[in-house]
Copies of this chain bind each other. A is one copy, B any other.
Amino acid sequence: MPLNPIALLDYAGVAVFAATGALAASRKQLDIIGFLFLASVTGIGGGTLRDVILNLPVFWVANSGYVLICAVVAVLVFFSAHRFESRYKLLLWLDAIGLAAFSVMGAAKGLAITGSPVVSVIMGVLTATFGGILRDLLAGEPSVLLRPEIYVTAALAGATIFTIGDLAGLPALASSLLGFAGALAVRGGALKFGWSFAAYRSRPGRRPEDIP
């Protein structure tokens, strides 16, 4: 694959998501193989779902370089994670970068294959969020989906900006960078300033056993 901007976003997204998987492994005090496993599943999970749904050859089966990136990142994090004061904050920020990169990558593949803007946006959101969902499920972390500040919205912003830019005839580089920057700005602002929408606040759900 030539190093066009979208391919770079793809490699970068895999690498930073792999780092978040390795940080989750560090928080759970797993061994080096646990780091490799969680890094790989998180790094390639979103793109795997995207390719399976679009009925494309799965990207890392065709090019195993992606898996080697995950392995290198896992080893680097294994030997350096103790240096960071808050691994969870680092995880959230790297997750934000991966989210931004994959929201564009997912939308780009979805639009190229189907031509439908609706499918493009959905594929962007699914690709951007699924790796982190898998990581949290497998590591027993509280799901990033359920955190109060804005998350899925950032992926939606990135995918929508890319899709509009592409349909408006912008070059791939421009619409990719705009989508990436838009998603990162939304998610970064949410992390830094606690941005959130007016959530559904009337009352939390009761536990099923407390319902008469």
Contact = CB atoms under 8 A, between A and B. Distances in A.
A27 B61 contact: no
Contact of A58 (B53, B118, B205, B211): B53
Interface of A: 24-37, 40, 48, 52-55, 57-58, 60-61, 64, 67-68, 78, 81-82, 86-89, 114, 116, 118-119, 122, 125, 129, 133, 137-143, 145-147, 150, 152-153, 156, 196-208, 211
Contacts of A147: 208
Given A86-B211, A200-B25, A211-B89, A145 B31 contact: no
B138 A143 contact: yes
B37 A205 contact: no
Nearest to A209: B142
Contacts of A156: 33
Contacts of A36: 152
Given A25-B200, A57-B55, A205-B87, A140 B146 contact: yes
B48 A53 contact: yes
A86 B210 CA distance: 11
A24 B28 CA distance: 24
Contacts of A119: 60-61, 64
Task: Tell me the interface secondary structure of chain A in the complex.
Answer: helix
B68 A118 contact: yes
B152 A198 contact: no
28 contacts: A24-B205, A28-B146, A28-B204, A28-B205, A30-B146, A30-B199, A30-B200, A31-B199, A33-B156, A33-B197, A34-B145, A35-B200, A48-B53, A52-B52, A53-B58, A54-B61, A61-B114, A61-B116, A64-B119, A68-B118, A82-B203, A88-B211, A89-B211, A133-B138, A137-B137, A138-B145, A140-B146, A141-B205
Nearest to A36: B152
Contact of A140 (B28, B143, B211): B143
A81 B33 contact: no
A150 B78 CA distance: 17
